[in-house]
Structure 1
Amino acid sequence: MKTVDCLGDMCPIPIIKTRKALKKTTSGETIKVVTDHSCVLESIVNNFKEYKISHEEVINGVWEIFITKD
């Protein structure tokens, strides 16, 4: 699983990094986006509706977002 480190990044940088990572993945693969901004979670959910997305707050204020390409 590829990890996209977006810690400290503000929008739109995480969206750009995520889009670039998804272009390099094949069907069925999952990428993990790590962020410390709640707005990034909302932006990813809104911008990548065609993918399966799940997320988890692993520590207070840090989220891991899993995006699976169909």
Structure 2
Amino acid sequence: MTQAHTQTALGYLTGRQLTPATAAALRVVVLLVKWEERRRTRRGLKRLDAHLLNDIGLSRRDVERELARPVWED
């Protein structure tokens, strides 16, 4: 789910009373989307060369450490 879709969905839900099951399902979906975003971001870091990593203040070792983290770690 892209950020635009997320914002649209959240705008739709704002001010609406959710059932406990719907609220729980929504929390699960949001969590899964966060994990997928972390996975994509970490894969992107893996593809950067040393020059680009240096530009953003990271070393290859920093990237390897980040790649070793599970997606549920913030």
TM-score of the superposed pair, with normalisation by structure 2? 0.29
Higher RCO (C-alpha under 8 Å, 6+ residues apart): 1
Computing the radius of gyration from Cα coordinates, the structure with the larger value is 2
The structure with the largest helix share of the pair is 2
The structure with the largest strand share of the pair is 1
